[in-house]
Structure 1
Amino acid sequence: MVRCIVTSSTKEIMLIIQNLSYTHPNKDLLFGNINLTVNSSEKIALIGNNGSGKSTLLKIISGLLKPLSGSLNINSKPYYIPQIFGQYNDFTIAEALGIDKKLTALHEILKGNISEENYEILNDDWTIEDRCNEVLKHWKLNDLDLSQKMETLSGGQKTKVFLAGISIHKPELILLDEPSNHLDFESRELLYDFIRFTKSTLIVVSHDRKLLNILNKVCELTKNGITAYGGNFDFYTEQKQIEKNALAQDIHSKEKALKKAREKERETIERQQKLDSRGKGKQEKSGVAKIMMNTLRNNAENSTARLKSVHTEKIGNIRDELQDLRSAVVSTEQMKFGFNSSALHRGKVLFTAENINFKYETSVFIWKTNLNVQILSGSRIAVKGSNGSGKTTFIKILLGSLKPQHGTAFRKESKSVYIDQDYSLINNNLKVYEQAQQFNTFNLEEHEIKIRLNRFLFPQNTWDKPCSALSGGERMRLMLCCLSIGSQSPDIIILDEPTNNLDIQNIEILTNAINDYQGTLVVISHDETFLEQINIDQIVNL
């Protein structure tokens, strides 16, 4: 059932989902009894933990997947922008946008082939090519050709091609799956403006908190249904904090009830035992027959056992309820690196670049003006720039895997850890426990490794899970766990778009872990909220 925090207004309904369920091919239930009503022009954020089924639900609404049960009523054909575009690599841009046949018909007519079929396909859309070029220019794609293959584009360019398709097709219902993932700052602002001003109905899956605050309703998806909150992400966060506080109060009350029940059990049994002992003494003095004494003793023991059973059942019920409440709490605070301090004193020069530049093969230099950068121990640096501005190249020079072809770069000998957006430090050929052992350079005992895994939300039933089957959030948590097992603090941690494949809960875990780290931090990220929360104090603009 949908539980609404604020009652929605009555408008023309765009989408109704009733009792929708979906199972994986292996028959495991992903979610069940999903109910949701979406009004025309509503802008909805669909959130939930990694693996809750957000992308699957969008695919069901778009018609790409069939649900196990339930119904959907949709008043307009959805326009769907997926998170992953690999399936379009063999398409031209025109084919990916679904306009290739119209363009072919237009060109045939202009060449003199005025067949009835060509006119039917074009459907009087004489400005289709001009509109496409104009929209691509708006999304800073004016150097692309509509006949160009999608495989030649970067992730950000592919996203912008599909965003451009919105203005071409003018859909009433738009489904967006992590639309800001690969966009640079400038492109994100274009996306934010579109979301602010469009009259279309939107359902957006995203972890981009700036984007989420532009949307006017948050729907949280879990295995058991959808909870709707009538406000933006900040409102949702406030409501979740209220729920969290209430949960903490329930746990506290249940802990008190458990303590009281145990004290009551002890007092009652002690009282009963005193009564039994006193009664036995009186019976012995009064000369009650031995057979009668045995009967009375058995009755007393049975009475005590019954009392104990009643209290044991009551205590067991309270303990089970308490366990259920505690299991609903995920402590992000405990998932930290736990490093020793870096051996480098704060303020020492780790890296100096003087008038550096780089070019690949016969291409021109990457940066229009040569770079001058100094990185001091303890700094927290954000590397910013548009897609293709050379951020990854700069990181490779910082790490020493590339040498500048102009200028000089000085690197102090130091221990660095490079964490890319796929968390490639994780070996897909290993299982979870085996991966953790790879970082056990201090010979921790087996039970210590397992305690760390539990702390990072890897219980016993996941220790034999192959790393290749882990979600983005699980890979991130396992990476944090492995680094904490390694214990020795790196002097520099370099993060390349670390939040791209994470849900909001896992971003919070990563943020807390990074803020616990005292060494030097270098981050490539377009997530402004994340950069703000990790206390960036220096920016390198490329």
Structure 2
Amino acid sequence: MSFSIVVDHVSYAWPDGTEVIKNLDVAFGGGRTGLIGVNGSGKSTLLRIIAGELRPRTGSVSVLGEVGYLPQDLPLGAGRTVSDLLGITATRAALHAIEGGDVAEEHFTTVGDDWDVEERARAELDRLGLTDVGLDRTVATLSGGESVMVGLAALFLRRPDVILLDEPTNNLDLDARRRLYAAVSSWPGVMVVVSHDRELLDRVDQIADLRDGEVRGYGGNLSAYEEVLDAEREAAERMVRSAEGDVRRQRRELVEARTKLDRRVRYGDKMYATKREPKIVMQERKRQAQVSAGKHRTMHEEKLEEARDRLTEAEQAVRTDAEIRVDLPETEVPAGRTVLTYPLPAEAGEFVVRGPERIAVRGPNGSGKTTLLRRIAGELESAARVRVPVRYLPQRLDVLDDALSVLDNVRALAPAASVNEVRATLARFLFRGARVEQPVGTLSGGERFRATLAALLSARPAPQLLLLDEPTNNLDLASVRQLTQALNAYRGALVVVSHDEPFLRELGITRWGRVDRDSGLTASD
């Protein structure tokens, strides 16, 4: 098999010495590869190294052909235009000059064979749903989702040999995601995409899992990968059960052997005490019995130690991501109790949330979904009436103080709780031991999210209305599962803005809302 990307023994560390990647070997062939792994495992760093944005400390990277790279955070620049992002401004300027009668040689050199560049650019933008986005529109007027789609259009317009995408569905509304899915599915070249989006990862040809400094490849999409993992986990768990049985058996045989040997020693001592045989014979028998007992005991102890080693090895083969397990009775809202009333546009009445409803709010990028949540949370002036304690989790995750520890941040929202109570709560959110003393500013994205969630759900008074704005953005698959576990334990009302359909299905949404630029908020059963 020929490989388009070969990463050979690559290591990389940040300027402060923090090691991100060490002696990594991986190769990517043709087709679309989904690169997955926990937050902080080095996925984005690896893409930047392949793209040439970062230089590895050791090792080398070879890529067959031109590389196109779409980072998580596009370097936009408010004064730039869509044409600038597409990389066609100079060609368009030369083309317009020629059309205006300026036949200078440099204009023809700049245009080359790209006489239809504007038509092709317009076609790519339209294909990705950007029909209202003109080539001369400034970046400052684009939403986050529109900027991502323009960046994607720029890649498809260039048609590089290799495309690298880093969390491309972040900030995209449902319609934009579907257009991106279609574009990825139709891409004929080499593509490596870092994503937590299950819908997107089910459209790739293979999965590459970056874990513990190594990449393991699996043929097929995310669903096929998870089936393989389930089979591996079941086999590993059978090995654990078998090894546990072996340990119990060896422990039992050791006890039985010690009992028999002790009985023999007591019998030998009794015979020696009664002196029924010559003293020299009795001493020799006693010595032989002690030697035999020592060998027998050593043999059984070695077998037990071997069984324990097999158990340890079997347990290490079971791949399990830590799970959040919490019980939040204080967040419970009785069925039927009015939690929130929010006035609807015109004479449409009120949007009312009662009891422990779970409401998902959707709408196109730039329609005002975040503004809606901020109004409900009281950050912006509105006529919303919230009748229970409320907490808001914004996309930026700027709720916590970076300079304070995880422990101190939680205590700030629950000052009446003791240190031991807070530590017990944080342990359920996977912060144990010295980790609770770590400053929030040093946490990875997934860790920061868990800390923020722990702080909000532990706040006093306990939140009975929780507002979440695109909570799965930038979370790895394990963190999304952990978020879902925590929210499934939450007993209050929930209003969540998200376009992550698998995540919403797991939450058990009871009602849907929609925000549009013109009509505002509308709700349906």
TM-score for the superposition, normalised by structure 1: 0.84
For residues 60 and 147 of structure 1, the distance between their equivalents in structure 2, rounded to whole angstroms, comes to 32
Asked whether the equivalents of residues 164 and 193 of structure 2 are also in contact (C-alpha less than 8 Å), the reply is yes
Correspondence 1:232 to 2:221? yes
For residues 437 and 282 of structure 2, the distance between their equivalents in structure 1, rounded to whole angstroms, comes to 60
Corresponding residue number in structure 1 for 2:27: 36
Tell me the amino acid that sits aligned with residue 447 of structure 2.
E
Corresponding residue number in structure 2 for 1:4: none
Correspondence 1:76 to 2:50? no
Corresponding residue number in structure 2 for 1:362: none
Correspondence 1:278 to 2:267? yes
Provide Cα deviations, 1:484-537, integer angstroms capped at 9, x if missing partner: 655864211111100001111111111122122222111100101111111111
Provide Cα deviations, 1:380-427, integer angstroms capped at 9, x if missing partner: 1011110111112222232334344xxx64x25201121122333332
Corresponding residue number in structure 1 for 2:484: 511
Aligned residues: 513
For residues 33 and 339 of structure 2, the distance between their equivalents in structure 1, rounded to whole angstroms, comes to 46
For residues 285 and 439 of structure 2, the distance between their equivalents in structure 1, rounded to whole angstroms, comes to 63
For residues 241 and 320 of structure 1, the distance between their equivalents in structure 2, rounded to whole angstroms, comes to 24
Against the structure 1 CA distance between its residues 332 and 426, is the aligned structure 2 distance closer, same or farther, given a 3 Å change threshold? farther
Correspondence 1:538 to 2:516? no
Corresponding residue number in structure 1 for 2:376: 398
SS of match in other structure, 2:4: strand
Deviates more, 1:202-211 or 1:267-276: 267-276
SS of match in other structure, 1:204: strand
Corresponding residue number in structure 2 for 1:55: 44
Provide Cα deviations, 1:416-472, integer angstroms capped at 9, x if missing partner: 1211223333321112333344455553453x5445444433343533432112122
Corresponding residue number in structure 1 for 2:407: 433
Tell me the amino acid that sits aligned with residue 65 of structure 1.
L
Distance apart, 1:73 and its partner CA: 4.0
SS of match in other structure, 1:207: coil
Asked whether the equivalents of residues 88 and 96 of structure 1 are also in contact (C-alpha less than 8 Å), the reply is no
Q: What does 1:23-172 correspond to in 2, within 5 Å?
A: 23-25=12-14, 26=17, 28=19, 30-39=21-30, 42-86=31-75, 91-147=80-136, 149-172=138-161
Against the structure 1 CA distance between its residues 416 and 440, is the aligned structure 2 distance closer, same or farther, given a 3 Å change threshold? closer
Provide Cα deviations, 1:309-359, integer angstroms capped at 9, x if missing partner: 5555554454455445545657668513311154532122222234447xx
SS of match in other structure, 1:258: helix
For residues 270 and 487 of structure 1, the distance between their equivalents in structure 2, rounded to whole angstroms, comes to 59
Asked whether the equivalents of residues 326 and 428 of structure 2 are also in contact (C-alpha less than 8 Å), the reply is no
Selected match of 1:419 from 382, 389, 393: 393
Selected match of 1:387 from 365, 369, 376: 365
Q: What does 1:349-360 correspond to in 2, within 5 Å?
A: 349-356=338-345
Asked whether the equivalents of residues 333 and 512 of structure 1 are also in contact (C-alpha less than 8 Å), the reply is no
Tell me the amino acid that sits aligned with residue 495 of structure 2.
V
Asked whether the equivalents of residues 205 and 219 of structure 2 are also in contact (C-alpha less than 8 Å), the reply is yes
Correspondence 1:202 to 2:195? no
Corresponding residue number in structure 1 for 2:449: 476
Tell me the amino acid that sits aligned with residue 404 of structure 2.
L
Corresponding residue number in structure 2 for 1:466: 439
Unaligned runs of 5+ in 2: 516-525
Tell me the amino acid that sits aligned with residue 113 of structure 2.
D
Identical aligned pairs, as a percentage? 32
For residues 111 and 100 of structure 1, the distance between their equivalents in structure 2, rounded to whole angstroms, comes to 16
Corresponding residue number in structure 2 for 1:363: none
Tell me the amino acid that sits aligned with residue 468 of structure 2.
L
For residues 44 and 313 of structure 1, the distance between their equivalents in structure 2, rounded to whole angstroms, comes to 47
Distance apart, 1:209 and its partner CA: 0.8
Selected match of 1:525 from 492, 498, 513: 498
SS of match in other structure, 1:35: strand
SS of match in other structure, 2:361: strand
Asked whether the equivalents of residues 51 and 67 of structure 2 are also in contact (C-alpha less than 8 Å), the reply is yes
Against the structure 1 CA distance between its residues 288 and 113, is the aligned structure 2 distance closer, same or farther, given a 3 Å change threshold? farther
Asked whether the equivalents of residues 272 and 282 of structure 2 are also in contact (C-alpha less than 8 Å), the reply is yes
Asked whether the equivalents of residues 172 and 200 of structure 1 are also in contact (C-alpha less than 8 Å), the reply is yes
Correspondence 1:456 to 2:447? no
Deviates more, 1:264-273 or 1:310-319: 310-319
Asked whether the equivalents of residues 129 and 179 of structure 2 are also in contact (C-alpha less than 8 Å), the reply is no
Asked whether the equivalents of residues 493 and 522 of structure 1 are also in contact (C-alpha less than 8 Å), the reply is yes
Corresponding residue number in structure 1 for 2:520: none
Q: What does 1:218-229 correspond to in 2, within 5 Å?
A: 218-229=207-218
Asked whether the equivalents of residues 139 and 160 of structure 1 are also in contact (C-alpha less than 8 Å), the reply is yes
Correspondence 1:498 to 2:498? no
For residues 336 and 442 of structure 1, the distance between their equivalents in structure 2, rounded to whole angstroms, comes to 23
Against the structure 1 CA distance between its residues 445 and 173, is the aligned structure 2 distance closer, same or farther, given a 3 Å change threshold? closer
Distance apart, 1:230 and its partner CA: 1.7
Asked whether the equivalents of residues 283 and 293 of structure 1 are also in contact (C-alpha less than 8 Å), the reply is yes
SS of match in other structure, 2:351: strand
Tell me the amino acid that sits aligned with residue 185 of structure 1.
L
Deviates more, 1:133-142 or 1:467-476: 133-142
For residues 284 and 426 of structure 2, the distance between their equivalents in structure 1, rounded to whole angstroms, comes to 56
Unaligned runs of 5+ in 1: 1-9, 358-368
Tell me the amino acid that sits aligned with residue 402 of structure 2.
N
For residues 377 and 527 of structure 1, the distance between their equivalents in structure 2, rounded to whole angstroms, comes to 24
Against the structure 1 CA distance between its residues 333 and 14, is the aligned structure 2 distance closer, same or farther, given a 3 Å change threshold? closer
SS of match in other structure, 1:85: coil
For residues 296 and 462 of structure 1, the distance between their equivalents in structure 2, rounded to whole angstroms, comes to 60
SS of match in other structure, 1:443: coil
Cα RMSD after superposing both structures: 3.2
Asked whether the equivalents of residues 95 and 115 of structure 2 are also in contact (C-alpha less than 8 Å), the reply is yes
Tell me the amino acid that sits aligned with residue 268 of structure 1.
A
SS of match in other structure, 1:495: strand
SS of match in other structure, 1:52: coil
Corresponding residue number in structure 2 for 1:361: none
Distance apart, 1:109 and its partner CA: 3.5
Asked whether the equivalents of residues 43 and 216 of structure 1 are also in contact (C-alpha less than 8 Å), the reply is yes
Deviates more, 1:511-520 or 1:306-315: 306-315
Against the structure 1 CA distance between its residues 37 and 491, is the aligned structure 2 distance closer, same or farther, given a 3 Å change threshold? closer
SS of match in other structure, 2:239: helix
Against the structure 1 CA distance between its residues 262 and 403, is the aligned structure 2 distance closer, same or farther, given a 3 Å change threshold? same
